[in-house]
Amino acid sequence: MESDHIYNSLYMVFVLTGMGGEVPFPWKRNKKLEKLLIRGGKRLKGTVKVSGAKNAAVAILPAAIMTDEKCIIDNLPYIDDVTVLAEILSELGARVTLDPAGRITIEPSYVNTYRADYNMVKRMRASYYLLGVLLGRFGRAEVAFPGGCEIGVRPIDQHIKGFEALGANVNIKNGIIYAEAEKLIGTEIYLDVVSVGATINIMLAAVRAEGTTTIVNAAKEPHVVDVANFLNTMGANIKGAGTDIIRIDGVDKLYGCEYTIIPDQIEAGTFMIAAAATNGDVTVKNVIPKHLEAVTAKLLETGMKVVEGDDYLRVVGTGVPRGVNVKTFPYPGFPTDLQQPMTVFLSIADGTSIITENVWESRYKHVAELKKMGANIKVDDRIAIIEGVEQLTGAPVKATDLRAGAALIIAGLIADGVTEIGNIKHIDRGYEHIEHKFIKLGADIERITVDQDGNVKKPSLVV
């Protein structure tokens, strides 16, 4: 058993090294010394292709080990969260072939453990999906509390409530969540808060439960629907994903399949806001425009032009935006993950804008960084009041979390002078080839490596 495990881990490394990269796992580079350097003032112009959805990928990849058969998943974003997860699956015993072009093959028949320790899961928040997956597959899971973005207290009480309702015993000891069930039995589960993670995790466990599970007050995000579609392709019987009541009829067996992940609506929204903020003209391709209705509506309200096609959205800047109010809500509301980029855009708007963050309680860490760049923003609990300024100015800043990092890139693009963003490991967790995509649109941005004293050593390796 032990030697199988080692063999499979090596198998994954071999395949990645075989791709010719100098460092097979980009996340293993010492990113503490990497920065993004942006010389602001360029209007973004051209076309950018959006990658596959991170938040779907981080659930679909672990879900693939709920069968014994091979799954091939396409349109994967090549981001650190995906490479980390691929490695975690290989550490659990799966044979994993990850092609940086966006395809993964997972052969899970060798998975032989229901344990994911802290060293495995600390690198990503969404490793909590292993709980639902391992509970569904083995009736047992031991998963350490995950790492991930610091954007507020991130409880998983609703996940646990769901597993318990399905008949599992759940205990937490020394930072490890132990879940065990002789048999999972379907039931009705009402979520006290609309939670993406709890909805998906309960769905994962419930596909193998006996009988019918109903999740009431479920999250409706596109990635919830994508995970349900993937599970249904594997032979599950899930109805209602995308509405607030999801019904899952348990099945005895899941099968291998081929599946293509949906486009990332948050990456798309990031480029839309960047286009508007730089007064640019950008076509964001490979999107499902319906997923971005809240963003489109807000950009139109600020006076920007948005043209909608079948699989693209073109955003055309029309000068100084009007200040507007934004309230974040679960889908189809304005996504919390785009609140930070939107804050940057509104920081140069005409007049006052008010943002209300309804999803996470401390998602304004980027504001302190934006103030260094001249933004005029006051935060009071969940509300940010933004008085638009004429111009931001470049400064050394730090990404405090993934979307804060994306927001700071946009700030750098519109600022006068040079912005240096540190702590960019957060950005690489969720955005594929970020600087290259912006360079293609005309941005002046590069990745540099600095020494301990902050002196530039060399431009960094391509991610």
Q: Which is nearer to ligand UD1, 178 or 360 (CB)?
A: 360
CA distance 131 to 201: 7
Residues 6+ apart with CB under 8 A from 47: 282, 283, 284, 285
Q: Which is nearer to ligand UD1, 38 or 196 (CB)?
A: 196
Cβ burial, residue 212 (10 Å; 0-12/13-18/19+): middle
Q: Which is nearer to ligand UD1, 126 or 355 (CB)?
A: 126
Residues 6+ apart with CB under 8 A from 282: 44, 45, 46, 47, 48, 271, 272, 274, 275, 314, 315, 441
User: At its nearest, how many Å lie between ligand UD1 and the CB of residue 5?
Assistant: 27
Q: Which is nearer to ligand UD1, 31 or 223 (CB)?
A: 223
What size, in residues, is the chain? 463
Q: Which is nearer to ligand UD1, 367 or 443 (CB)?
A: 367
User: At its nearest, how many Å lie between ligand UD1 and the CB of residue 203?
Assistant: 12
In the block, tokens 């439960």 appear at 209
User: At its nearest, how many Å lie between ligand UD1 and the CB of residue 45?
Assistant: 29
Q: What is the dihedral of CA 385, 387, 392, 396, to 10 degrees?
A: -30
Closest CA to 57 of 463, 434, 429, 433: 429
Interface with ligand UD1: number of residues (CB under 6 A): 19
Backbone angles phi, psi at 356, to 5 degrees: -115, 120
Closest CA to 37 of 397, 317, 337: 397
User: At its nearest, how many Å lie between ligand UD1 and the CB of residue 426?
Assistant: 12
State the binding string over 286-325 for ligand UD1 (x if CB under 6 A, else -).
Answer: ----------------------------------------
Q: How many helices (H) and strands (E) does the chain have?
A: 15, 25
The number of CA neighbours under 13 Å toward the Cβ of 4 is 11
CA distance 377 to 426: 23
Q: Which is nearer to ligand UD1, 182 or 361 (CB)?
A: 361
- Residue 424, Cα to own-chain centre: how many angstroms? 15
Among 114, 360, 364, 431, binds ligand UD1 (CB under 6 A): 360
| 196 torsion bin: left (phi>0), alpha (psi -120 to 50), beta (else) | alpha
User: At its nearest, how many Å lie between ligand UD1 and the CB of residue 360?
Assistant: 5
Among 9, 55, 347, 353, binds ligand UD1 (CB under 6 A): 55
Site for ligand UD1 in 236-295 (CB under 6 A): none
Q: Which is nearer to ligand UD1, 55 or 419 (CB)?
A: 55
Strands, E assignment, 56-203: 71-74, 95-99, 103-107, 115-116, 140-144, 169-173, 176-180, 188-190
Site for ligand UD1 in 332-351 (CB under 6 A): 336-337
Among 12, 53, 58, 292, binds ligand UD1 (CB under 6 A): 58
Closest residue by beta carbon to ligand UD1: 197
User: At its nearest, how many Å lie between ligand UD1 and the CB of residue 318?
Assistant: 29
Q: Which listed residue (89, 149, 165, 189) is catalytic? A: 149
State the binding string over 103-142 for ligand UD1 (x if CB under 6 A, else -).
Answer: -----------------------x----------------
**364 touches ligand UD1 (CB under 6 A):** no
Q: Which is nearer to ligand UD1, 58 or 379 (CB)?
A: 58
User: At its nearest, how many Å lie between ligand UD1 and the CB of residue 159?
Assistant: 5
Q: Is 149 a catalytic residue?
A: yes
Helix axes 402-414, 339-346, angle to 10 degrees: 20
3-state SS, residue 9: helix
In the block, tokens 């991130």 appear at 154
CA distance 233 to 256: 8
Q: Which is nearer to ligand UD1, 434 or 441 (CB)?
A: 434
Site for ligand UD1 in 141-160 (CB under 6 A): 154-159
State the binding string over 172-201 for ligand UD1 (x if CB under 6 A, else -).
Answer: ---------------------x-xxxx---
User: At its nearest, how many Å lie between ligand UD1 and the CB of residue 223?
Assistant: 6
User: At its nearest, how many Å lie between ligand UD1 and the CB of residue 358?
Assistant: 8
Locate all alpha helices (DSSP H) within 92-175, ordered by sequence.
118-121, 129-138, 157-165
The answer to whether residues 203 and 175 touch, using CB atoms and an 8 Å cutoff, is no
Per the DSSP assignment, residues forming a β-bridge with 246 are 215
Residues assigned a catalytic role:
149
Interacting residues with ligand UD1 (CB under 6 A): 55, 58, 126, 154-159, 193, 195-198, 219, 336-337, 359-360
